[in-house]
Amino acid sequence: MVNDHTHQSHPNIIKRLKRANGHLESVIGMIDQGKPCLELAQQLHAVEKAIQQAKRVLVQDHIEHCLDDAIGPLESEQQQRVDEFKAIARYL
């Protein structure tokens, strides 16, 4: 069964995607201005990094919400293990 979590607000993801969009718009402007390929590549790398960060945050949030759904009926010791896993998952 696929878990389709949707969330009304992902401010961190939106912030990162807006950053990526800004970098992408900059790349388009640089192309129009005839900037060197190295500068374009550096800006495209910034776009890629911002998108990767947004994806990572989305996955981390999804893992956390799924675990929160599962943790409800667990006993105290099991809840502590899930909380520890959630803390470790933040480093993924």
Q: What is the CATH number of the domain that holds 83?
A: 1.20.58.1000
Q: Is residue 19 part of a domain?
A: yes
Q: Is residue 50 part of a domain?
A: yes
The answer to whether 70 and 82 have CB atoms below 8 angstroms apart is: yes
Share of the chain above pLDDT 90, in %: 25
Q: Find the helix or strand (DSSP H, E) in which 25 lies.
A: helix 11-33
Domains identified in the chain, total number: 1
Q: Is residue 3 part of a domain?
A: no
Write out the residue range of the structural domain in which residue 48 sits: 9-90
At residue 25, the pLDDT reads 93
Q: Is residue 18 part of a domain?
A: yes
Q: Is residue 2 part of a domain?
A: no
pLDDT tens digit sequence for 49-86: 989 988 888 888 888 777 777 777 777 777 777 778 77
The answer to whether 54 and 20 have CB atoms below 8 angstroms apart is: yes
Q: Is residue 1 part of a domain?
A: no
SS3 45: helix
Q: Is residue 84 part of a domain?
A: yes
